[in-house]
Structure 1
Amino acid sequence: MSGLVELSSFRMELFGALPRRADALFELVDAVLCADGPVVSLPELSLESVHRRGHGAMYDALANGRIDVGRLRLALAALELPRGADRQLSIAVDVTPWPRPDAECSPARLHCYRPCRCDGVRQTIPGWPYQVAAALGGGRSSWTGVLDAVRIGPGDDPTAVTAAQIRDLLERLREAGQWRDGDPEVLFVLDSGYDIVRLTWLLREEPVRLLGRIRSDRVMHHPAGRRKGPWPGRQPRHGEEFRLAHSATHPDPVQESATRHDRFGAVTARCWGRLHPKLERRQGGWTGHEGELPIVEGTLVHLVVEHLPGNRDPKPLWLWHSVPDATAHDVDRLWRIFLRRFDLEHTFRFLKQTLGLTRPRLRHPEQADRWAWLLVAAHTQLRLARPLAEDLRRPWEKPLDPGRLTPARVRRGYHRIRRIVGTPANPPKATRPGPGRPTGSTSAPAPRHPVGKNQSKKDNPSTGTPRGNL
């Protein structure tokens, strides 16, 4: 019964976070959850029995409705979040694009990263990039607790946007009682493409730890020693080089772990502490830095596996951890937490392929923001409905325990759960069609908007906008 109460309370909170066009927006969320099969178009959703309004009211709600995003974010932070076995709160941050290559009339588009599925060549596509933060569980799962979503604009600095998103999320977690003084620091897990060294510097005053993947051609430095020779002069700032691609520059690791994994075989992890990169002012984030450039130290983790799924050739994996003291690490635990970051990819795939995140052809990015937040609320309702769902499997599917139901299987029976929890939306009022456009009236062509550009590689040490897989 507690699951039913929590789901009903969140639905009421969601309805209260819709100050304008609340009934139409709320029924649109129910139509997404109760549709039979993947969402293929918005007009098809208006034919669902739970959507008691026409398709015109649905488009009007997306165009002129309003969502109190601040209130909805607080409601998401107050829910019970997935945690690891040690109750550690781990949050993955990644970007997923909404491709809009032919939408010349849509503003605020960027060149978003998109991998080519034919030959593996990395490409970009015009669209709206959304950066999502989600809490991770302790084991292999297709569930995450989505906490926030931010659209990155053409004039935004991706690193600064990420730092601000993490600060705001921490403040909401404190307000919701999810994190208190004395609790373990919140761990944020990031993939390559983020300037994790600069993020470490920007968030140095916050109770966070950062764990992310870095390129294998980076060059780090050991702490500087004393100046050699009898001549006076400035003390060195950087010690000996640590070239990730050259094992001859690697000293003995501070910690080393060897274990076996059911998917990767033999796994060897090693870590070195007190390493830092040599920063330069010509790098984007440090151009306007006042005073001497800082020394940002961290711990490097090197991971080597025996094999990869699909008989792919294994490649060494390098991770950066923002805590410089390598002796305080559980190196085996760090790389396992990083693997949990890929659970967010399952969430992206479900949002796009099943709930239809990128299906609508909306013109304005504000409409896209409303649709994205409605789907975040829909995904959250499925997570809360897990204890109430039954395993409505297809004849060719394997049965699953109630605790291992996937989001797709929970959605199959959500129409039954909705009848139990009810709906706060008001029934539509009787009306008649409007007069429509006057005869002979014309409209001016919609303005065209060029695709915006991210900061160039010269201005940004990362490879543009942080990337996320489709």
Structure 2
Amino acid sequence: MSSVPEPVDRVELLRRLDRFREEFYTCLTRRADALFELTDALLCSGGPVESLVGLSLIAEHRRGHGALYDAVNQGRVNLERLRRAVTAVPVPVAADGRIVLAIDVSSWLRREAHTSPDRLYCHVSGQTRAQDQRIPGWPYSIVAALETGRTSWTAILDAVRLGPADDEMAVACAQLREVIDRLIAAGHWQPGDQPILVVTDSGYDTARLAHDLADLPLQVLGRLRTSRVMRLPAPARTPTTVGRPRHHGPELRLADESTWPSPDHHTCTETRRYGIAQAIAFNRVHPRLTRRSAWITHTGPLPVIEGTLIRLTVDRVPSGQNPKPIWLWCSTPDLNTAQVDLFWQAYLRRFDLEHTFRLLKQTLGWTRPRLRDPNAADTWTWLIIAAHTQLRLARSLAEDLRHPWEKPADTTRTDRLSPARVRRAFRNLRAATIRPAQAPKPTRPGPGRPPGSRNQHRAPHHDVGKTIHRARTQADLQKPGG
């Protein structure tokens, strides 16, 4: 099944690309011509973007390097309108027709940028846990729609920079709510369709997402740490039972097989990449919530959120290491066998988002510019997203301009060309698209600071990290005098 409905008419595909380019130009409210040509230079550059100023040498950028930096630092983008334009583009769907969203954080590291405000300590993973580091930078929460099958394509729908005063879980909930609202407004989801599936990694509290977004048509699927302890349903209350009703049943320790009940579902699937994949599922399993971390500000009794617990094991992994089991928890408490198979396969597609992050950073040069202002970083980030959206629209139009050492594209696959190879052919495709940017006007550069004079307005230095402190924990409130 094709993950994206592909129109046969090439003219309609060009019209769709033209409509987005015209709407993108309308979203640029200041320095529109320079920002639009900068995005075209980003798309038509022959190789990876090594520096921001290097894009001024591309033929599609008809302005000088001064206008390029002025556009990034002083340009403005109507983000709300651009978000709607990006969401209006057809989004991929899973095998059963549902939309699968992935949310994750990718960091723009700024180690020595002492004059850049709003930097946080970003987690950088190494090959071993001892090599993990915390490096100053700007973290961005990114939401993308996933495709089915092995592919390096995703559809980026939103990006939000996390600030020093932000609660990561609150930002994630608000971001997902806005994305789903825009998907519904664009007609991608209608009443009667399958619920939208949101997949997350172990850094997110899936119970918090399911609780705060319970009014939306979605299901949450997240990975759990192997040290977690879950709870089974509370036993039925008998007429002779006294005392308060129990909310939690026996413990289910993920690392202790003796605490596992009999699974409700057991499936075996043959895969080419992982060998035999076995999944067992336990219905109506819930985490026992505590008043800390994501639930520290919750008022009233803590809820009991039941879901389905899935344990996935495979024969092998591409790295050649010993495969470890993966534990997943879904916010739907009564999945059937077919849904269990569908959901763990949808979670494995979450790793396609890592290919998108690598494309943004290594090919499109997302983190290459050394910008001081975080607002300029937001502008550059959304130019990258607009460029990636144009690549998605051009994937069925681009020719395969392969190098002699590359294999020919597989014409039987919908993702026959990778994003990097579509970008290689975008310059030839650009000639047939709309180009609303006006020609530059001749001018002279300003005089600048006189030679020999000293800078009297030095940029202030900013501290790194959170600027607010959490309220006291529940344990502190229970202390005498708390």
Q: TM-score by structure 2 length? A: 0.92
> 1:287 Cα deviation (Å)?
2.2
State the partner residue of 1:35.
45
Cα shift readout 1:262-309 (whole Å, capped 9, x = no counterpart): 11111110101111111112x123223222111111110000111111
Cα deviation for residue 122 of structure 1 reads 2.2
Structure 1 distance, partners of 2:205, 2:136, is 22
2:460 maps to 1:447: yes
Q: 1:340 aligns with which of 325, 345, 349?
A: 349
AA at the equivalent of 1:116? G
- Preserved contact between residue 227 and residue 254 of structure 2 (Cα < 8 Å): yes
Q: Does 1:408 align with 2:420?
A: yes
**Post-superposition CA distance 1:243-269 (Å, at most 9, x none):** 111111111111110121111111110
- C-alpha distance in structure 1 between counterparts of 2:212 and 2:146, whole Å: 23
Q: Is 1:87–2:110 an aligned residue pair?
A: no
Residues 221, 239 of structure 1: 8 Å contact kept: yes
> 1:268 aligned to 271, 278, 282, which one?
278
**Post-superposition shift, 1:422?**
3.8
2:328 to 316, 319, 336: 319
* 1:416-454 per-position Cα deviation (integer Å, ceiling 9, x unaligned): 111111411000012122222246463222111111139
1:392, 1:412 within 8 Å by CA — same for their partners in 2?
yes
In the superposition, relative to structure 1, how do residues 327 and 85 fare at CA in structure 2: closer, same or farther (>3 Å)? closer
Aligned to 1:222: 232
Aligned to 1:278: 288
What aligned pairs does 1:11-410 form with structure 2 within 5 A after superposition? 11-117=21-127, 121-226=131-236, 230=240, 232-281=242-291, 283-327=292-336, 330-402=339-411, 403=414, 404-410=416-422
Which residue of 2 is the match for residue 467 of structure 1? none
SS in 2 for 1:113: strand
Instruction: Quote how far apart the aligned CAs of 1:111 are.
Output: 1.0
Q: Indicate the RMSD between aligned Cα atoms, in angstroms.
A: 2.0
Relative to structure 1, the CA distance from residue 253 to residue 277 in structure 2 (aligned partners, 3 Å threshold; closer, same or farther) is same
The residue identity in structure 2 corresponding to 1:241 is E
How far, CA to CA, are the matches of 2:449 and 2:284 in structure 1?
69
What is the CA-CA distance between 1:182 and the residue it aligns to?
1.6
Q: Structure 1 pair 458/193, CA: closer, same or farther in 2 (3 Å)?
A: farther
Alignment deviations for residues 28-81 of structure 1 (CA, whole Å, 9 cap, x no partner)? 001111111100111110011110111111111111110011111111111111
**Residue 15 to residue 173, structure 1, CA distance change in 2 (3 Å):** same
Aligned-partner SS, 2:461: coil
Deviation of 1:14 (Å): 0.3
CA deviation profile, 1:70-108 (whole Å, cap 9, x unmatched): 111111111111112322111111111001111111111
SS of structure 2 residue aligned to 1:267 = strand
Q: Which amino acid aligns with 1:26?
A: F
Which SS does the other structure have where 1:433 is aligned?
coil
The worse-fitting range, judged by mean Cα deviation, of 366-375 and 184-193 is: 184-193
Contact 2:21 2:434 in 1 (8 A): no
The verdict on how the C-alpha distance between 1:421 and 1:291 changes in structure 2, with shifts beyond 3 A counting, is same
Q: Is the 8 A contact 1:188 1:210 kept in 2?
A: yes
Q: 1:224/1:93 Cα in 2 relative to 1: closer, same or farther (>3 Å)?
A: same
Which amino acid counterpart does residue 407 of structure 1 have in structure 2? Answer: P
Amino acid corresponding to residue 447 of structure 2 in structure 1: P
From 430, 438, 444, the counterpart of 1:432: 444
- Matched residue type, 2:74: N
Letter in 1 for 2:460: P
Structure 1: how far apart are the matches of 2:56 and 2:200? Answer: 38
Structure 2: tracts of 5 or more residues without a match: 1-10, 474-482
Task: Quote how far apart the aligned CAs of 1:231 are.
Answer: 6.7
TM-score by length of 1: 0.94
Deviation at 1:121, TM superposition (A): 2.9
Describe the SS at the equivalent of 1:13.
helix
DSSP-derived class of the 1:199 partner:
helix
Identity %: 52
Q: How many residues align?
A: 459
In structure 2, C-alpha distance between the alignment counterparts of 1:197 and 1:220, rounded to whole Å: 12
Question: Conserved in 1, the CA contact under 8 Å of 2:223 and 2:327?
Answer: yes
Q: Is the 1:299–1:326 Cα contact (8 Å) retained in structure 2?
A: yes
Q: How many angstroms does 1:140 deviate by?
A: 0.8
CA displacement 1:183-206 (0-9 Å, x = unmatched): 111111111101111111111111
Please say which of residues 383-392 and 285-294 is displaced more in the overlay: 285-294
Change over 3 Å in CA distance of 1:251–1:384 after alignment to 2:
same
Q: Secondary structure at the match of 2:41?
A: helix
Q: Distance in 2 between matches of 1:93 and 1:210?
A: 11
Q: 1:41 to 1:90 in 2, by over 3 A?
A: same
SS of residue matched to 1:295: coil
Q: Distance in 2 between matches of 1:458 and 1:189?
A: 30
Matched to 1:297, the amino acid is E
Q: Is the contact between residue 265 and residue 337 of structure 2 (CA under 8 Å) also seen in structure 1?
A: no
Distance 1:183 1:118, change over 3 A: closer
Q: Which has the higher contact order (CA 8 A, sep 6+)?
A: 1
Alignment check: 8 A CA contact 1:110 1:454 kept = no
Rounded to whole Å, the distance in 1 between the matches of 2:126 and 2:273 is: 26
Alpha-carbon distance in 2 for matches of 1:393, 1:195: 43
Any conservation in 2 of the 1:111–1:454 contact (CA below 8 Å)? Answer: no
Shift of 1:350: 0.4
